[in-house]
Amino acid sequence: MIKGNEKRLAPVFMVTEPGAVATNTENRIEDLQMLTTTKSPEAQTMSAEMWRGAFAKPEIVWSAQAEPQALRSLLATFEPITLAQMPDSAVLLDRSELKYVLPSLLLPGLAELRDVYRILTVAGQPFSRYRTLYFDTDDLALYRRHHAGAPDRYKVRAREYVDSHAAFLEVKHRTGRRRTVKSRIPTKELITALTPQAADFLAEACPYAADDLTAALWNSYTRITLVSKLRAERVTLDLDLAFSRDRDYADFPGIVVAEVKFQGERHASEFARLMRAYRVRATSFSKYCMGVSVLFPDVKHNKFKAKQRLVARLAQGADNDPC
């Protein structure tokens, strides 16, 4: 992971903000270690320019590494399914979840699943680009509630499904019974400020008033979605995770965040069985909380240090990614 807008060091990352002092970053290096190894000074410079241009809008530029040809060829061996063909049982707005964090070098193992999953395609493509803006209070109450381990918690986000030209305002509620309930309303485009319509929706969907929420963190990724042929289950695999806040950013190359969304028994999932075969354990992982813990240097993040170290270990193999 590289983070910052001017100074950039490999193999560790550096953060620089106007007027910031180096000790803010030095205190973090021991925790995060090397989250990426940049392949060349030229790649560093090009990436920095891409990100600077992105934040000027603000938008997030999609990495060319999101669609390696070998992975595309593998996904082409799956039976496709479109959004229109996907059964209602696979939408799963009220569901249980399993999450995994794994190195992208394990993605060739998906070949073992082609008989039991279809691949979701949008405009004929197996990769879907997502862009998300998270909202939180000025003192990051939603993040802090998650950090404190509260079993009942919320995320509020505006999301754009880039390739299908759809946008929603969404509330994701993690209940005390370990279920996830997602509510959403369509928007004409990805919203960056909460409208009166959004305020009405939030009044019904979560305990946080729109007037108390403000844009906190941008996130982008490229998603592969597998739809089970056997049960009400979807598996999403998110690649090229990137976060931005003002002119600072962080990216996690070589990392895949996989999520099994299902109803019924967790051990029935063929993807979960594959992860057990690879000795990859299910774990909690919040993209929003990971982004905040990295890009908000003054926010308490002790709960997420283990996840940061996990990402660091996995990312060290990114340069050897065969995909």
In this structure, what DSSP letter does residue 114 have? T
Name the β-bridge partners of 119.
Answer: 80, 226
> Sorting pLDDT into bands at 50, 70 and 90, what band is 181?
confident
The pLDDT score that the predictor gives to residue 264 is 67
CB 114 within 8 A of CB 78: yes
pTM of the model: 0.77
**Adjacent-strand bridge partners of 131:** 160, 220
Return the closest-CA partner of residue 6 out of 295, 250, 248.
248
234 beta partners: 227, 261
**CA dihedral of residues 274, 278, 282, 285 (deg, nearest 10):** -110
Q: Is the peptide bond before 151 cis (omega within 30 degrees of 0)?
A: no
Burial class of residue 12, CB neighbours in 10 A (0-12, 13-18, 19+): buried
Give residue limits of the domains in the chain: 65-320
User: Higher-confidence residue: 77 or 55?
Assistant: 77
Specify the pairing of strand 166-174 against strand 153-161: antiparallel
Residues in the chain: 323
Express each pLDDT in 272-319 by its tens digit: 999 999 999 999 899 999 999 999 989 999 989 988 888 888 877 654
Find the range with the poorest average confidence among 7-11, 60-64, 152-156.
Answer: 7-11
Overall average pLDDT of the 21-37 stretch: 32
Query: Which residues does residue 217 pair with via DSSP β-bridges, in sequence order?
Result: 134
Cβ proximity of 81 and 239 under 8 Å: no
Distance between CA atoms of residues 87 and 261, nearest Å: 14
47-61: average pLDDT: 34
> Does residue 75 or residue 66 have the better pLDDT?
75
pLDDT bin (cut points 50, 70, 90) of residue 111 is very high
* Whole-angstrom distance, CA of residue 203 vs CA of residue 301: 29
Partners of 181 in the β-ladder: 94, 173
Query: Which residue type occupies 234?
Result: R
pLDDT at residue 68, as a whole number: 73
Domain 65-320 sits in which CATH superfamily?
A: Hypothetical Protein Pfu-838710-001 (2.40.320.10)
For residues 25 and 295, the answer to whether their CB atoms sit within 8 Å is no
Supply the angle between the helices 305-315 and 287-295 in degrees, to the nearest 10: 90
User: Which pLDDT tens digit goes with each residue over 236-276?
Assistant: 999 999 999 998 989 998 899 999 988 766 668 999 999 99
Mean pLDDT confidence for 21-50 = 33
Q: What is the pLDDT of residue 94?
A: 62
pLDDT in tens, 94-109: 658 889 999 998 999 9
Q: What is the pLDDT of residue 3?
A: 53
pLDDT tens by residue, 187-219: 999 999 999 999 999 999 999 999 999 999 999
Instruction: Quote the tokens at residue 120.
Output: 């979701």
Q: Which is higher by pLDDT, 179 or 260? A: 260
Residue 227 burial (CB count, 10 A): 21
Summarised one tens digit per residue, pLDDT across range 132-159 is 999 999 999 999 999 998 989 999 999 9
**Mean per-residue pLDDT of the chain:** 78
| 75-96: average pLDDT | 78
Q: List CB contacts of 62: < 8 A, sequence separation 6 or more.
A: 129, 220, 222, 240
Q: Which of 191, 137, 136 is nearest to 169 (CA)?
A: 191
